Structures are given as structure tokens and as C-alpha cells.
Amino acid sequence: MKAIDADTFLRLIRGQTRGPAASLARLGLGLCSAVYGMGAAARNTAYDRGWKRSQRAAVPVVSVGNITLGGTGKTPMVEWIARWYRRRGVRVTLISRGYGHAGGINDEGLILEENLPDVPHLQDPDRVKLASIATTELEAELIILDDGFQHRRLARDLDLVMLDALDPFGLGKLFPRGLMREPIRSLRRASAVVLSRADLLEPSHRELIRRRVRCTAPALPFIEARHAPIDLLDGEAQTYPLDELAGKDVAAFCGIGNPEGFRRTLVPLCRRVVDLKVFPDHHLYGAGDVRALTDWAGSMGANLALTTQKDLVKLRTATLGPVPLRAVRIGLEIMDGLETLERILEPLSPVRDAVPQSTE
């Protein structure tokens, strides 16, 4: 059976593709979702009832995850938490599965290495093993588990779940009929929910999401955040102010889980987005892609080509032919609930021995 590309799949499950064949395909995907849901429920029940046991690390573990497929802003959240603990002198190590890498660290890992040079990042499917390495070899005092909500083999002290404001509940259906990795009721085992890209919704729409979360988990803290553009980067890690975009016609491209979020970030920053070319998430760019992008950027008549930092770390080029190429570096900004989030994080900071006061 021939695999379909991400855009075709999304159009199918969203009902944008019509006709008898599409309806039959959605019926088949629904049956697959039922099987997937039974498997996920059985696995969670095994952990909830102690039939399978989570293994605890020697130091606190903070997990950042989600209940849907696609980009929900986990990487900026991981970076924000790592910086928060580093400012308090905590030795932090990041661990993740490393999805999408080809013999080395994946794109999210490359971003975190670039933005957090003093924080080690380990990638391997066996995250219990990585937790041991982090504490015994790297002397970590706290571990941040990236994309860890479904990884229950490693116990965690905090479970932060990201919801993307543009599609918080993955069409309300389990994969592959929808984009949910787990049912909404799984939020009951979370420590807090962080609504990312919250600035892209009106307050009334954000309140509807908050109410739906509270119907499932009434006491669950609800935090709102936005993806704030920080600056521009080129392929040599040179930085530029965002003012460089003013008055520019830009050609944009990305290979991320939520391209619409990227487009909405760009629109207020420049005069016009002349086109947005979308690649599959975790796309590995080859020489042919670079040639095609160069031809495309030139044909658009753009002053500048823009992409995400996640894409640029795999391209490492400063131009597409005569068109300069920049990445928009994004940082997480807490809009509402900062005190709540800090109150949740604070107890996991290691207790330092008090410095004895001189009696002289």
C-alpha cells in the first residue's frame, strides 16, 4: 500500500477530501483508531494498576509532552524550563527519544544544543538508561524528559502537557482517524496544561478550551503561553534584529508539525508572505531540495527567504541563490499563570546546604 503525504492525510481526516473513496478510507481509519485506542488503554491501565512499573531516576524528572500529534510547542517549553532551573544554579540534563534523527541528534536536539550550550542533551529510545547516564556520568540534579507524556516507563515528578491553541484536541479523534495520541481523559494524570500559541485566539475561545479541560480534570492548573519571535539567525549562527523584516516580501518554508502557526507568526512581522512551502515534519533536506528552494525563492520575487530554526539547523546555508535565508528564532513567553508554573517547578530544585555564618 502506497503511503500518502502529510497534507493529503490531513485533508482526508478533516473531511476536506470528498467522495465515496474518501468516505470509505475514513471508515477504515476509524476502525484502526478503535484498535489503537484499545492498545493505548490497555497499556495505561497496566501502569495505573501497577501491573507494569515505572522506574524512578535518582533525581527529579520533569516531563513535557502532549496528547496530540504534531507541533504543540514542546521544544520552546523545554528550553524555557531548562533556563528557569539553570538561573537557579541547577545542573540540568535533557533526555529524549530522538524521533526523526538519522544516525545523530535530531532537529529539535540541534536547536536545544544551539540555544542551551551549557545543558547536555541525550537521545535514545531507552530513556531509563539515559536517566542513569545523566545522574552517574553528567551529575545531573534534574532531568527534563522531552515528549514524555506517553513514555511511562520512566517515572516523573511533574507532567506538563502542551495543547496547541490552533487544534488543542486533534479533531477529537484518536490517530489515525484524528490526531490524538491519547483520549482527553488522559489529562487526569497531568500536573498542568500549557496552552501554546494562546495569543492567536480570542480570550473567549481560550476560555472554551479551559472549560473543556476542566470538565475532564477540574483541579488541573491551566497556563497560557505564546511563541514570541526573538531574533533572526542565518546559517552561520549570526543574529539579526526582527526589524530587518519590516517592509519585506518574504518567501517562507518549513518542515514542522504546525506550519499554520509559523505562518501566523510571520504575518505581523513583514510586509507580505508571498508564499509558504510546506515539507513533512522532520524533513531531511538534500541537495535537490536546496536547488528547488533556490529556484522557488527566485521565482517568488522575494527580498528574503524565511524558515524555522528547526529547518535551518539541517540546511546550514546563508542564502538561496541571491536571496538571503534567515530563520525566525522563537522563545516561549508565559501570558497567564506564571506564578502557578513557578510554584509547580520550585519544589524540585535541590536543597542547597546553607553556608555557615561567621561567628567572628
Give the 3-state secondary structure of 254-282. Answer: ECCCCHHHHHHHHCCCCCEEEEEEECCCC
**Range 295-316 average pLDDT:** 90
Per-residue CA distances from 189 to 3, 147, 168, 214 (Å)? 34, 15, 17, 13
pLDDT score for 37: 94
Q: Which domains does the chain have, with CATH numbers?
A: 6-48 (no CATH), 61-227+334-348 (3.40.50.300), 228-331 (3.40.50)
**Percent of the chain residues topping a pLDDT of 70:** 95
Going by DSSP bridges, is the β-strand pair 222-233/239-240 parallel, antiparallel, or unpaired?
antiparallel
Contacts of 252 (CB under 8 A, 6+ apart): 262, 263, 266, 273, 275, 276, 277, 305, 306, 307
Q: C-alpha grid cell for residue 123?
A: 537521545
Q: Which tens digits make up the pLDDT trace of 309-352?
A: 999 988 878 899 999 999 999 999 999 999 999 999 999 998 76
Q: How far is Cα 106 from Cα 310, in angstroms, rounded to an integer?
A: 9
pLDDT score for 172: 92
pLDDT score for 354: 47
Q: C-alpha grid cell for residue 111?
A: 536547536
Q: How far is Cα 293 from Cα 290, in angstroms, rounded to an integer?
A: 5
pLDDT score for 315: 87
Closest CA to 164 of 96, 257, 265: 257
Cα of 343 vs its chain's centroid, Å: 23
Q: C-alpha grid cell for residue 244?
A: 530587518
Q: How far is Cα 74 from Cα 78, in angstroms, rounded to an integer?
A: 6
Q: How far is Cα 322 from Cα 311, in angstroms, rounded to an integer?
A: 19
Closest CA to 117 of 157, 159, 86: 86
